[in-house]
Structure 1
Amino acid sequence: MKRLPLRTTFAVAAAATALVAAGVPTTAAVPATPAALAGPDISVTNTAAHLDQLQAIATANGGNRATGRPGYLASVNWVKSKLDAAGYTTTVQQFSTSSGTSYNLVAEWPAGDANHVVMTGGHLDSVSAGPGINDNGTGSAGILETALAWAASGQVPRNRVKFAFWGAEEQGLLGSKNYMANLPTAEKDKIELYLNFDMIGSPNPGYFVYDDNAAGNGARDDLTSYFDSVGVPWEYIDVQGRSDHAAFRTYGIPTAGTYTGAEEYKTAAQAQKWGGTANAPFDPCYHASCDTRANVNTTALDRNIDAIGHMVWSYAQKTYGTTLPPTGENLVKNPSFESGAVSWTGTSGAITTNTGRPARTGTWKAWLGGNGRTTTENITQSVAIPASATTAALSFWVRIDTAESGSTVYDTTKVQVVSGTTTSTLGTYSNANATGNYVQKTLDVSSYKGKTVSVKFLTNEDASLQTSFVVDDVSLTTG
């Protein structure tokens, strides 16, 4: 969180000594929690591991992750690699600052109505004085783990879900301001809500909710209701222009967020309500070299990341006049491969115009196998199947040519659906099914309604005599 130029600051080293001497508890005194509202339990163990990685990046790069320094770019690249692996479409926006080049990283889940966007973000940069683990490694790590949990959940969002990691916030919200300034008006109008999380693991924590309840924005109240439901007392706070939500609020976009405190002092009444130490800063290491991995209250972090999860899960499904795919529309992108490997992942070169085997339509197809040696090849695409569907069917055309003879199975192609950590094989085709011409196959995928799944064609060929499996014109339609 950036420091306002006119705001009173504190002697952080002395405050830190006082806080340690006072014996700050690792768990604030908060009443026992009743059952939470709908939403996931975001893993604090995984989130803490992300903080360990951000600390390691800072340690390896001069002790900080500040804009213009190598530790910041290393942070961006590491977060991007995690999101790419989870199936997000990531975009890195580069911009210049007085301290050098900085970057915004935005990750978009490839499902949901793109006309209604729910965006969650926080800044990834630190100040130059230290590694910035509470400010704002905690928000970044919590947002990252929520994004990974969303990807693993297999849910199909009603709205388009995006996660942002801003650069140069510490220099005056430069990253988020740059993003919004360069975003076309039509795209700004699609953002229904921006959620911001900046400093959510302060060592002497409070539980603050941004007091930003513009007309039509119930997100602030949903956050306070969530904290009520889990027995965590809260207070409103006006963070003014101190964090990246301000760049969105400027354009009239509803915002909300949580905060556990920075250089402000905790009052006696707040200490009675939340535990911790009165008359000491919420974060005595704010903007200092001691903002390390040890400067994080795990309980506060855990409560706030669950709040992030609750909000993302809730608003991903909120009705904003959302338009769902019409019945009968093909949910597979680039179904006939005529755009090459666009929207598909898997074995390089499997999607081809090689004339050794013809496409069923057009000139492109997926040619799996045909090597005459031990190989494994695949093509995969993520597809969101709406919960509103009554039926769902996966269809494709396959041509099987083989040099094998007889009915013994040597080479196979499996059609699989991957949902979360579970892989199911819906159909298996082999050299014994060779016909030398295209045959259409249709498989029922109705059991995956309401989930985002990966459709996978997986070919295994043995050590001798080729079998070619040529796939074309793939469709997944609902009824």
Structure 2
Amino acid sequence: MLGVLLSLIAGAPAGAFPAGPDGAASTEEITRAVTAEQLESHLRAFQDAADAHGGDRATGTAGYRASVDHVVERLRAAGYDPRVQVFTVPYDEDHEHDHDHGHDDGEGMAAGPRVTYNVLADTATGDPDSTVVVGAHLDSVPESPGLNDNGSGAAGVLAIAEALAGTETRNRVRFAWWGAEEINLNGSGHYVSDLRANDPAAFDDIALYLNLDMIGSPNYGRFLYDGDSSWGGWHDGSPEAPAGSDAIEVAFESYFESVGLAAEEVPIDDGSDHLVFAGAGIPVGGLFTGDSGEKTRQQVDLYGGRAGTDYDPCYHDACDDLGNVDLQVLEEMSDATAAVVLGFASSEIDDAATLRPPDGWPRRSALEELSPVLTGLMVWGAVVAVVAGVAVAVRRRARAHR
């Protein structure tokens, strides 16, 4: 019995990733297929799109359309049949004040509705009843070419799609590039609301959503979204992480541990497209390397860089260009996502049960699973001890006064 208990506490060894079904790439093969050179080529295309069209890739601009064209072209070259979803973005005076710098690149920048696009592509194989969705927003703010925010995430998703092209998957994978994230998450919001209204069965088929937003910050941290509330809860007005989100957190933790890279949790309520899916009850997770927050001394010990300086000093600024992206961390975060996508795409997903970590992957040990309970018991014990100590002191004082 003691041996069983110790084996549970020990958990599975780090790095124990199965190869997957016949015809599937292994974790090592899929991460090797995602290269810094490949990621940089996508970033250069996004930089060229901005340079040729007024310096940005904002929703409703020719710079954004050129970015869409690059994604579609590369997907077709990899053997996918991409779909471009057209929708209209409401653009009022408040948005114009916040996001419009007034240049004209052929479509006009005045307040009013704007036509924009999502890009979607599915793997050729895999059960459509358990669809793994991985996405990133493709648009920038009008003040910036947006190479870290979010050319980095868009490049990561595209490189993963290219790496997975032709491999066999148990479950279908859908790759997504969202428009109008910088305008109230309109692209992913349109996609989810359109599915729920017009194809509820397809909406129910989504097993989980992974989000990549700003994964190449120059003064980076490696952050993964907290799927089990252990970070400290949710901010007011944010949706709670749907059941199963903790399985995604565990998968990312397992991968980073297996390759010896430090990573830490951040609240899942940071403002990006995963909020739309979380609000719809779909398990969510993803990666992030920081925006305008300041890096701590403890994080410098983990990742290097400079304490007291923003993770991305060029956040939403004109200097968010190709030179603002750290290619090493971009490749690390893209590799991690590729491994997790492949893990879930190769696993049996029971629609009637809560999402679990990928089949055969390392999981939290029994001790780690119990840690929130143990922490609560320790806190409760400390409170009881303090109360008991106060009671004893009161009794002693009372006796002394008799």
TM-score normalised by L of structure 2 = 0.69
Aligned-pair distance for 1:115?
1.0
- Residue 338 of structure 2 is matched in structure 1 by 309
2:136 paired residue number: 122
Task: Quote the offset at 1:239 in angstroms.
Answer: 4.1
User: Once the 2 structures are TM-superposed, how far is the Cα of residue 168 of structure 1 from its aligned partner?
Assistant: 0.4
**Aligned twin of 1:113:** 127
Alignment of 1:342-357 (within 5 A): none
Alignment of 1:32-71 (within 5 A): 37=17, 38-39=27-28, 40=30, 41=32, 42-71=34-63
Q: CA deviation at 1:44?
A: 1.4
1:202 to 193, 196, 217: 217
Residue 64 of structure 2 is matched in structure 1 by: 72
Residue 89 of structure 1 and its aligned partner are, at CA, apart by 2.2
2:257 to 228, 239, 246: 228
Residues 107 and 163 of structure 1 are in contact (CA less than 8 Å); yes or no, is this contact kept in structure 2?
yes
Letter in 2 for 1:166: W
2:293 corresponds to = 264
CA displacement 1:3-28 (0-9 Å, x = unmatched) = xxxxxxxxxxxxxxxxxxxxxxxxxx
CA distance in 2, matches of 1:96, 1:216: 32
Note the 1:90-169 alignment, pairs <5 A. Answer: 90-97=82-89, 98=91, 100-151=114-165, 154-169=166-181
Q: How far, CA to CA, are the matches of 1:52 and 1:189 in structure 2?
A: 37
Displacement after TM superposition at 1:241 (Å): 4.9
CA distance in 2, matches of 1:309, 1:105: 19
Displacement of 1:216: 2.8
Q: How many residues align?
A: 287
Report if the CA contact (8 A) 1:209-1:236 is conserved: yes
- Is the Cα–Cα contact under 8 Å of residues 210 and 237 in structure 1 kept in the other structure? yes
Higher-strand-fraction structure: 1
1:180 equivalenced with 2:195 (yes/no): no
1:257-309, Cα deviation, whole Å (9 max, x unpaired): 00000000001111122100000000000000000000011111111010111
The equivalent residue for 2:305 is: 276
In 2, the alpha carbon distance for the partners of 1:35 and 1:160 equals 24
- Deviation digits for residues 58-89 of structure 1, max 9, x if unmatched? 10111100001110011111101111222212
Note if contact 1:36-1:230 (Cα within 8 Å) is conserved in structure 2.
no
Alignment check: 8 A CA contact 2:169 2:345 kept? yes
Aligned partners of 2:270 and 2:264: how far apart in 1?
18
Higher RCO (CA 8 Å, separation ≥ 6 residues): 2
Q: Does 1:216 align with 2:231?
A: no
Confirm whether residue 170 of structure 1 aligns to residue 159 of structure 2: no
Distance verdict in 2 for CA 1:239–1:285, change over 3 Å: farther
Instruction: Report the identity percentage.
Output: 44
Larger Rg: 1
Q: Is the partner of 1:149 in helix, strand or coil? A: helix
Q: What does the per-residue CA deviation read over 1:227-270, in whole Å, with 9 as the maximum and x for residues that have no partner? A: 11111111110141500011111111001100000000001111
Q: Provide the C-alpha distance between the structure 2 equivalents of 1:321 and 1:237, rounded to a whole number of angstroms.
A: 28
How much is the aligned-residue C-alpha RMSD, in angstroms?
A: 1.5
Give the letter aligned to residue 172 of structure 2.
R
TM-aligned CA deviation for residue 188 of structure 1: 1.2
Q: 1:204 to 1:316 in 2, by over 3 A?
A: same
Q: Is the 8 A contact 1:36 1:226 kept in 2?
A: no
More helix by share: 2
Maintained 8 Å contact 2:15/2:254:
no
Displacement over 4 Å in runs of 4+:
34-37
Q: Distance in 2 between matches of 1:119 and 1:35?
A: 24
Write the distance in 2 (CA, Å) between the matches of 1:244 and 1:72. 18
CA–CA distance in structure 2, aligned partners of residues 287 and 132 of structure 1: 7
Contact map agreement 2:274 2:284 (CA 8 A) in 1: yes
Name the CA shift for 1:36/1:202 in 2 (closer, same or farther; >3 Å). farther
Cα pair 1:203 1:297 within 8 Å, conserved? yes
Q: 1:116 to 1:35 in 2, by over 3 A?
A: closer
Deviations 1:143-189, CA, capped at 9 Å, x for gaps: 101101111xx321111111000000011100000000000221111
Q: Aligned AA for 1:56?
A: D
Post-superposition CA distance 1:107-126 (Å, at most 9, x none): 11121111110010000000
Gaps of 5+ in 1: 1-33, 323-479
| Aligned partner letter, 1:70 | A
Contact (CA 8 Å) 2:54, 2:63: kept in 1 or not? Answer: yes
Once the 2 structures are TM-superposed, how far is the Cα of residue 35 of structure 1 from its aligned partner? 6.6
In 2, the alpha carbon distance for the partners of 1:147 and 1:120 equals: 10
CA distance, structure 1, for counterparts of residue 134 and residue 58 of structure 2? 21
Q: Is the 8 A contact 1:89 1:110 kept in 2?
A: no
Structure 2 residue matching 1:54: 3-state secondary structure: helix
SS at match of 2:305: coil
Note if 1:298 corresponds to 2:323: no
